[in-house]
Structure 1
């Protein structure tokens, strides 16, 4: 996977964030533990987390409270810094520790891209917008998820991933990815 995939996912997320109204921040999302505002906080935090891991620095902005702020600008800034970190010379050849053990930076790129894209799907679904997000990217991420997520990552409490859910017949690729990652679709 290349940083261009992350950029695509970030652009999709930014486009959806542009459509969020203040009156929607308390709305539920497919992530049962988060409302729209909390999901936005997590989306900002994920960009900061991945950038910190690539740069080998301590995470100082977890995204908490982003939705109470100018969350569009906070997301744009965090996403730009994250993408720049992955695009830096030699970044994908590094070994990084994002907080749960060392891994190749290229693997972290896959995690960050999948997280960004899937939470964009969560946001689109929560806002009742079209969630057929970039079918080609969705297929790439679904294929990657099938190879990268072992059964041991699926937990009852969903602390990593919930059990795979059934996607309706004819579901778009983004919805099938969400179901694979444990969303009820």
Structure 2
């Protein structure tokens, strides 16, 4: 039986939430494994994706052309609220069936795309801020298939970097990260 995308998103949200709660204000300007993003920028991007993909699940259009600044008020709490709404949106009957979005992709593929962001960017934020992160194991297989399928297009669009080598015996998650162009040995600079 295939695990529903909402169940995978719920598990990924549970793993990402402690990382977001652990982000300190003095770390928001620190670098991340995503060279173009600081911790604050990456949080804003991730929350914007989470909010946007609620609309995608409901077959509405989402605007990803600009990313608002969400770093005000209880932004850590808002992340938990918005990921709960994301899970609810993808649990709605038919949300992961048929095609959706402006690219008219299979809805389950789109749900997997937000799952990838939620999982990989939680790792990015954890790595940038010296926190631990363990992804939900049930998601890794689905995400590996997605990355294999989408990688050529994602690299052309500069969403993924070139794949990096992984040592023998590397975990499936390390292989997934390397396939997106991430250096699994990346560490925050000592001053971050």
Whole-angstrom distance in 2 between the partners of 1:144 and 1:161? 12
Asked if 1:88 is matched to 2:92, the reply is yes
Q: Determine the structure 2 residue equivalent to 1:165.
A: 164
Superposed CA deviations along residues 6-57 of structure 1, whole A, max 9, x for unmatched, are 1111111111111111111111100000011111101111111111112133
Whole-angstrom distance in 2 between the partners of 1:60 and 1:81? 17
Q: Tell me if structure 2 keeps the 8 A contact 1:48–1:82.
A: yes
Aligned-pair distance for 1:136? 4.4
Q: Determine the structure 2 residue equivalent to 1:48.
A: 51
Asked if 1:10 is matched to 2:13, the reply is yes
Q: Tell me if structure 2 keeps the 8 A contact 1:139–1:174.
A: no
1:91 match: secondary structure: coil
Aligned counterpart in structure 2 of residue 72 of structure 1, from 69, 76, 96: 76
| Change in 2 beyond 3 A, CA 1:170/1:67 | farther
| Alignment: residue pair count | 180
Aligned-pair distance for 1:162? 1.6
| Change in 2 beyond 3 A, CA 1:60/1:102 | closer
TM-score (norm 1): 0.85
Q: Where do 5+ consecutive residues of structure 2 fail to align?
A: 185-192
Asked if 1:145 is matched to 2:147, the reply is yes
Aligned counterpart in structure 1 of residue 106 of structure 2, from 100, 104, 108: 104
Q: Where do 5+ consecutive residues of structure 1 fail to align?
A: none
Larger RCO, structures 1/2 (Cα 8 Å, 6+ apart): 2
Q: Tell me if structure 1 keeps the 8 A contact 2:33–2:127.
A: yes
Whole-angstrom distance in 1 between the partners of 2:79 and 2:147? 24
Q: Tell me if structure 2 keeps the 8 A contact 1:94–1:105.
A: yes
TM-score (norm 2): 0.82
Superposed CA deviations along residues 119-168 of structure 1, whole A, max 9, x for unmatched, are 0111111112224433443344224422x22424313xx62322111234
CA RMSD of aligned residues (A): 2.2
1:11 match: secondary structure: helix
Whole-angstrom distance in 2 between the partners of 1:41 and 1:173? 27
Q: Determine the structure 2 residue equivalent to 1:182.
A: 181
Whole-angstrom distance in 2 between the partners of 1:69 and 1:63? 17
